[in-house]
Amino acid sequence: MRNLKSLFKFHRHKFYSCYQKGANWASLSEECVSYLLNKRNEIYKNFKHTKCADEIYKQTIIINSHFKENIYSLDDEYISNQREIDWLRGTPYEYKETDFNILKNSSKIFARKFSDNNKKIIMLIKEDLYGNKGKEQ
Q: Are 127 and 119 in contact (CB under 8 A)?
A: no
Tens digit of each residue's pLDDT (9 = 90 or more) over 105-130: 999 889 999 999 999 999 999 999 99
**Residue 25: partners with Cβ closer than 8 Å, 6 or more residues away:** 81, 83, 112
Rounded Cα–Cα distance for residues 108 and 82 (Å): 5
Q: b or e along 64-80 (b: 16 or more beta carbons within 10 Å of the residue's beta carbon)?
A: eeebeeeeeeeeebeeb
Name the least confident of 50-59, 68-77, 79-88. 68-77
pLDDT at residue 67 tops 90: yes
Average pLDDT over residues 9-13: 57
Consecutive H or E run containing 111: strand 110-112
pLDDT at residue 64 tops 80: yes
Consecutive H or E run containing 34: helix 30-38
Question: What integer best gives the mean pLDDT of the chain?
Answer: 86
Q: How confident is the model at residue 85 (pLDDT cuts 50, 70, 90)?
A: very high
Q: b or e along 20-57 (b: 16 or more beta carbons within 10 Å of the residue's beta carbon)?
A: bebeeebeeeeebeebbeebeeebeebbeeeeebebbb
The single-letter DSSP state of residue 55 is G
CB atoms within 10 A of CB 60: 22
Residue-level pLDDT at 5: 57
Residue-level pLDDT at 132: 73
Q: How confident is the model at residue 2 (pLDDT cuts 50, 70, 90)?
A: low
